[in-house]
Amino acid sequence: MNDIYVIGLEFGTDSARALLVNAATGQETDTEVAYYPRWMEGKYTDKSIAQFRHHPKDYIESLQTCVKAVTSRHPELVEDIVSISLDTTASTPCLVDKECTPLSLKPEYADNPDAMFVVWKDHTGQPEADEINALLAKQPVNYSLHTGNFYSAENYWCKVLHILRHSPELQKAAYSAIEICDYIPALLTGCKDASAVKFGHCCTASKLMWAEEWGGYPPVEFFKQLDPVLLPILEHLPNNNYSCETPVGRLTAEWAEKLGLKEGILIGAGNVDSHSGGVGGGICYGTMVMNLGTSACFMSVMPKEEMGDTIVEGIFGQVYGSILSNMVGFESGLSSFGDDFAWFKNLMAWPLKNIVGKSELIDATTREKLVAEAEDDILLEVAREAEKLNITINSPLATDWFNGRRAPYTNNTLTATISGLNLSTNAAEIYYAIAEATAFAAKCCIDHNTKFGVVTKKLIGIGGIAQKAPFVVQLLADAVNMPIEVSGCKQAGTMGSVIHAAVVAGIYPTVAEAQKVLCSPASRCYQPDAKRHALLQKRYERYKALGAFTETEQEKNY
């Protein structure tokens, strides 16, 4: 096979990434990351009410920056680049007009957060989620069948309903609402009709309650009962959707010039980042890919005939064709994982920023360098101290629900707890408790899936924490009592998009064939410590009891 190149794109929570790969050999030729400028400044975010928004300009500018950087460094390869596929966070929808323009790109709504993309971890739609679930319980058809019999505030209809209610001025301007994974392909292919956008199957079936069983979306009557404000949105949604192996159009001349590419290369249907990570991590029957990043997404697949009619109660997603086109895909995980450690780092860094960072005892340049160096080292140093701890059954214990619980049994209203503190408790013990809580939460997900027949024989870790936090991954292996292989690919999510781009272009006939060439072998394997597991199993029982107590008490006040 001659050298032939594809580009995988990933739009994450903080940044966009482009990965240029020789699809014939699997060689990663070049990559570039571009951080969202407005998001990094903290614009349009209010953590106190769980509001997280991305301005579409962040996506558009970062797309141009990262792709143009790669193509400009390799002009001799541009003629050999044949396709692009991408994955994004989900559910991350935005209101658009009839021409598929996000409303925040119009001057009158430029600074209205409700006219922007509502990021996956935005929970402002929790009251709407409660309404939707109450209405779902009364329906003759189970429209939450593929979301664990529960519809999360992290999903499309909760977010769209909330922003329409919250900003009535947008109701007349909004023609439809589109996920970022569908908007970017529409942008690159020049689609100017929101009703004609080719939606990706993974997001539509996992987040929008679309299913073949009931002919697409829930019926009009369901949305009338919920809130008629949604009816125009429903009316303008395309009812077809496409697998990630499918091209949805070709790159326009305008975008070819902006990206330094040739016009007409194929653009694949958009995907969900966690699903793409599963593909790039080497997912197959019996292998769970654990995406350990800002949140944690655990991806598994099963043959349809083996699952039969079994529904995994409380799972975050269970959809045929959502990860691999010929398998039932399962998504569970934690609503916050890396975010938990980021919270702890920010807590520890407060004196640095607010005392040392304002000190007049040293010059401004030294202050900035000192604060930056200390911030960078906080988690590394506290992890080193945590490794030295002599943990007992009575050591501090935590739950991991800093951003609610994703699975099993979604509950976005839950908050985290830390117990067993006394006057001798130190930072390393609190850090350990948080890390252990994330490990116990992962064990909950695996045990729950197993109870319903989802086979897990092998674990593969991907994402930033899998690559950079050996203490956390070892603790996870000890808690679940299984080896964890870490993928040798440092950007497995983007590699999943590369794999799909290669199939879209016809370089490989199937995802499985492409995986054989493009997926990296393990760079490391963490073996569980049997002695440590025995103690962790006892603490795990206490973790579950603490979680049950926390949930019961918080529900009394919700």
Q: Which helix (H) or strand (E) covers residue 503, if one does?
A: helix 492-504
Residue 1: per-residue pLDDT: 63
Mean pLDDT calculated for residue range 187-199: 98
Residue 532: per-residue pLDDT: 96
d(CA 209, CA 203): 10
Assess contact for 144 and 151: CB atoms under 8 A: yes
- The pair of structure tokens assigned to 298 is 């655990």
pTM across the whole model: 0.93
Pairing of strands 53-54, 397-398: unpaired
pLDDT tens-digit readout, 295-321: 999 999 999 999 988 999 999 999 999
Fold match, 5-281+491-518 / 338-488+528-557: yes
HSE-CB at 303 with a 13 A cutoff on CA atoms is 2
Residue 367: per-residue pLDDT: 83
d(CA 386, CA 390): 9
pLDDT tens-digit readout, 212-239: 999 999 999 999 999 999 999 999 999 9
Strand partners, 31: 19
Question: For residue 2, is pLDDT > 80?
Answer: no
d(CA 403, CA 405): 7
% of residues, the chain, pLDDT over 70: 100
- Which CATH code is given to the segment(s) 5-281+491-518? 3.30.420.40
Mean pLDDT calculated for residue range 389-397: 97
Question: For residue 526, is pLDDT > 80?
Answer: yes
Residue 357: per-residue pLDDT: 84
**Do you find a cis peptide bond into 228, omega within 30 degrees of 0?**
no
- The pair of structure tokens assigned to 185 is 């392909």
Handedness of CA 103, 106, 108, 113 (dihedral sign): positive
Question: For residue 365, is pLDDT > 80?
Answer: yes
Residue 420: per-residue pLDDT: 97
% of residues, the chain, pLDDT over 90: 93
Strand, coil or helix: 12: coil
pLDDT tens-digit readout, 64-78: 999 999 999 999 999
d(CA 146, CA 205): 8
Contacts of 544 (CB under 8 A, 6+ apart): 440, 444
E runs forming strands in 36-139 = 53-54, 81-88, 93-96, 117-118
Domain boundaries defined on the chain: 5-281+491-518, 338-488+528-557
Residue 376: per-residue pLDDT: 86
Rounded to an integer, what is the distance from CA 537 to the centroid of its chain? 29
- Report the chain's mean pLDDT, rounded to a whole number: 96
Residue 233: per-residue pLDDT: 98
Task: Determine if residue 410 is left, alpha or beta; phi over 0 gives left, psi from -120 to 50 gives alpha, anything else beta.
Answer: beta
- The pair of structure tokens assigned to 249 is 């159009």
d(CA 344, CA 69): 34
Q: Which long-range contacts (CB under 8 A, 24 or more apart) does 545-550 make?
A: 546/397, 546/399, 546/417, 546/419, 547/399, 547/401, 550/399, 550/401, 550/414, 550/415, 550/417
pLDDT tens-digit readout, 496-510: 999 999 999 999 999
Q: What is the DSSP string of 219-249?
A: PHHHHHHH-GGGHHHHHHS-S-EE-TTSEEE
- Which CATH code is given to the segment(s) 338-488+528-557? 3.30.420.40
CB atoms within 10 A of CB 14: 14
Side chain identity at residue 183, one-letter code: Y
Q: What is the DSSP string of 311-330?
A: --TT-SEEEETSSSTTSEEE
Torsion angle defined by CA atoms of residues 392, 394, 395 and 400, in that order, rounded to the nearest 10 degrees: 120
pLDDT tens-digit readout, 80-121: 999 999 999 999 999 999 999 999 999 999 999 999 999 999
Name the DSSP class of 345.
H
d(CA 280, CA 295): 18
Residue 558: per-residue pLDDT: 66
Torsion angle defined by CA atoms of residues 276, 471, 468 and 516, in that order, rounded to the nearest 10 degrees: -40
d(CA 303, CA 307): 7
Handedness of CA 172, 176, 178, 182 (dihedral sign): negative
pLDDT tens-digit readout, 435-455: 999 999 999 999 999 999 999
Question: For residue 5, is pLDDT > 80?
Answer: yes
Gap between the terminal Cα atoms of the chain: 61
pLDDT tens-digit readout, 532-558: 999 999 999 999 999 999 999 998 876
